[in-house]
Amino acid sequence: MKHQATAKSRKELKHQMAAVFSEKIQTLSPDLQDVLLDDLVTAFENRLNMLNRAQLNVKCLAVITEGVECETI
């Protein structure tokens, strides 16, 4: 269950993070700001995917304890 953000949604998220962190990153060059924001978006997406998988595993365990088998993907 791999979720990949579309280029559009990734770009939107990057713009939102730029707005949130604009004051903190203003001392960096535009190139470094871009690198940092791209890294933040990647880290956010990876963490979200990991948490979604963990939540799915918890739901599967709940189903298993009720006597129904569930395969973790």
Confidence of residue 4 (pLDDT cuts 50, 70, 90): low
State phi, psi for 26 to the nearest 5 degrees. Answer: -65, -20
Distance CA 68, CA 66 (A): 6
pLDDT of residue 58: 72
Whether the pTM exceeds 0.85: the reply is: no
Query: How much is the average pLDDT of 55-61?
Result: 73
Rounded to 10 deg, the angle between the 7-25 and 30-65 helix axes is 120
Q: Per-residue pLDDT tens for 11-26?
A: 999 999 999 999 999 9
Integer CA distances (angstroms), 17 to 1, 34, 73, in order: 25, 11, 31
Domain ranges of the chain: 7-65
pLDDT of residue 55: 83
Q: Per-residue pLDDT tens for 27-53?
A: 999 999 999 999 999 999 999 999 988
